[in-house]
Structure 1
Amino acid sequence: MRKLLTLFMVMALAMVLFACGGGKDSGETAKDGEESSGETITLRLAENQPDDYPTTVGDLEFARLVEEKTDGRYKIDVYAGGQLGDEKSVIEQVQLGSIDLARVNVSPMTQFSDEIGVLSMPFLFDDEEKKWEKLNGEVGRELLDTLDGSNIVGLAYYDSGERYFYNSVRPVTKPEDMKGLKIRVQQSELAIAVVEALGASATPMEYGEVYSAIQTGVIDGAENNMPSYYTSNHYEVAQHLTSTGYTGTPEVVIMSQSVWDKLSDEDKELFKEAALESVEVQRQAWADLTKESEEKVLEAGSEFSEAEDIEAWREAVQPVYDKFGEDYKEWIEKLTE
């Protein structure tokens, strides 16, 4: 009887191991400090954008670098196009460890770290060069580390471009030109405060409703990055586009804490290096897409205006800093010094 029971247990174990592919290649990671026995450990990265989108390009470069730096011990499969779920569900799955990695926007990460919300403040950086010097440096690393305790590890930031104001009424070059315009914003207290500080009427609305709302005059315009302005076809109904560089909340590559903790210290550094090195490729892909989108909308008749006197715009949004700035005071100083 015991022999039969033992044989049954061995057969059952063999069936489980066979079904799991032996564990290693199905996503199981080595224990802390444990060296891989030469088998490839495959991780999954969730991406909600299409295969050719700049963030996906960055993900793929990150995956390539991880495989290269770990001599093939780790492989990352990128699941683009929202195959693994929308942004909210993906973040939750990364927390639980059911998804190993993901690329998400910084904005929803504020529910796990109040401090990281500083990156949504208007006119935070003088220019893009300064912004990326900070984000890719020590201060950016410290800000990612504020996610500690949330079962999420931040690896690097990706570019999501600067956001533009656009409307169907008139060219906008100075804050006074915003007065009275009805501008769609995301459902965010900060986003609403920025638009209202500029004298416009902030109108929270689902993104998919914006085109028809502008077309019918329910709102006058919205704000977004250049590729989104183009791909959403908003340029067809809101031809006046203004570059202010007022904000550009970045994306972030995150990893499950449970997976991270199983990496050796050496591999943790290699993953960080790979993520940081992939930023250059991702940013170049974003720059290329932005240029292509700009050319398309200009050809279609959009009017592009540069904001005059950026300091006047900064002064106009001072009420936003009065309201939210105290919470971010330390980080504002670090990011702008």
Structure 2
Amino acid sequence: MRFCTLVYFLLIISGLFGCKNFEKTRTIKLAHGLDVNHSVHLAMVKMGVDLNELSDGKLILEIYPSQQLGTERQCLELLQIGSLDMTKVSVGVLENFAPKMKVLGLPFLFRDREHAFKVLDGPVGRQLLEDGEKYWLKGLGYYDAGSRSFYTKDRPINSPEDLDGLKIRVMESVTAIDMVTSLGGSPTPISWGELYTSLQQGVVDGAENNPPSFYLSRHYEVCKYYSLDEHTVLPDVLLAGTHLWKRLSSEEKEWLTQAVENSISYQRKLWMESEKEALDAVQEAGVKIIRPDKTLFSEKIKGIYEQYKVNEELYRLIQEIQETR
């Protein structure tokens, strides 16, 4: 009698829920520090849609933008301990966690955007992503973050000499600090979320970033000079924590990898459009766009490359990058 009752109970449960409802749904939490209108965020939204379709609803992406879960550094720390699944950070911040990444932050390393993509999507880029795994960070790919240039409040930057005495906000990056120091400025690390107020209050005299970030952050309201010296081509890196990666099945990894690849292609297209839109918008808002002689800046930072000769592994990476055709 008890056996029949048990069978009857199981049949009722099966009928109510169906077999498919017992399939697990995994939610992946992704946090980043950018505005919801940024091309990176829009690409992540596409990633979530694609991931849902590829997995037939078994993998769900939850996105937390605008530093809701912390700064880029804090998100990396959350990844390392398994409290966050995925994030996007600048290579400049990532170098503090995965030291070899610092080579990508060297000024005037890439000849142009095409050269940068060949390096990032090729053996060197993959090697750098794989190197992060020893630090509990699984590199998934590179988003386009364009070229970084200086913007200032009170005076234009036409040559490195114009940086003398200016406090310039930089990321928490030794490479960025060395670069600004070599050019004559005073590097001041400040988190992205605090920068607008710091510019307003005069804590710093300027900063350096790409056109969309300059525009979407509304820093153009404070800084009226934008000097396109394009000193670094610093990509954004999409990462998963190794805690998450080890939990995923082979099939789930394939779904996520495909969704990531789709989002990278999509983001790079959006980026090209957003750069032009940003420059047009800040000019309309009264920002003076300056196009200085870049060789004046590149000549001043040659000493940075000399420092890397003592590290054979990093110097070899630099040579591989420069030789990529």
Structure 1, unaligned runs of 5 or more: 1-20, 28-41
Between the aligned partners of 2:97 and 2:179, the Cα distance in structure 1 is 23
Superposed counterparts of 1:230-269, under 5 Å: 230-269=215-254
Between the aligned partners of 1:83 and 1:22, the Cα distance in structure 2 is 32
Task: State whether residues 136 and 276 of structure 1, in contact with CA within 8 Å, keep that contact through their aligned partners in structure 2.
Answer: no
Match of 1:323 in 2: 307
* TM-aligned CA deviation for residue 266 of structure 1: 4.9
Identity fraction in percent: 36
Superposed counterparts of 1:189-268, under 5 Å: 189-204=174-189, 220-268=205-253
The structure 1 segments of at least 4 consecutive aligned residues displaced by more than 6 Å after TM superposition are: 215-218
Between the aligned partners of 2:257 and 2:219, the Cα distance in structure 1 is 38
Between the aligned partners of 2:193 and 2:70, the Cα distance in structure 1 is 19
Superposed counterparts of 1:146-185, under 5 Å: 146-185=131-170
| More deviation, 127-136/208-217 | 208-217
Change beyond 3 A, Cα 1:197–1:278: same
Between the aligned partners of 2:81 and 2:189, the Cα distance in structure 1 is 31
Cα deviation digits, residues 148-172 of structure 1 (max 9, x gap): 2222211011122321112345443
Residue 311 (str. 1) matches residue 295 (str. 2): yes
Change beyond 3 A, Cα 1:78–1:300: closer
TM-score normalised over the length of structure 1: 0.77
* TM-aligned CA deviation for residue 252 of structure 1: 1.5
* TM-aligned CA deviation for residue 144 of structure 1: 0.2
Which of 44, 64, 67 pairs up with 2:49? 64
Superposed counterparts of 1:65-144, under 5 Å: 65-144=50-129
* TM-aligned CA deviation for residue 115 of structure 1: 0.4
Change beyond 3 A, Cα 1:292–1:82: same
Task: State whether residues 171 and 240 of structure 1, in contact with CA within 8 Å, keep that contact through their aligned partners in structure 2.
Answer: yes
Task: State whether residues 156 and 272 of structure 1, in contact with CA within 8 Å, keep that contact through their aligned partners in structure 2.
Answer: no
Between the aligned partners of 1:69 and 1:283, the Cα distance in structure 2 is 22
Change beyond 3 A, Cα 1:104–1:183: closer
Count residues with an aligned counterpart: 305
Between the aligned partners of 1:84 and 1:220, the Cα distance in structure 2 is 28
* TM-aligned CA deviation for residue 187 of structure 1: 4.5
Structure 2, unaligned runs of 5 or more: 1-20
Between the aligned partners of 2:34 and 2:225, the Cα distance in structure 1 is 27
For residue 50 of structure 2, give the secondary structure of its aligned residue in structure 1.
helix
For residue 33 of structure 2, give the secondary structure of its aligned residue in structure 1.
coil
RMSD, matched Cα: 3.1
| More deviation, 127-136/233-242 | 233-242
Residue 24 (str. 1) matches residue 8 (str. 2): no
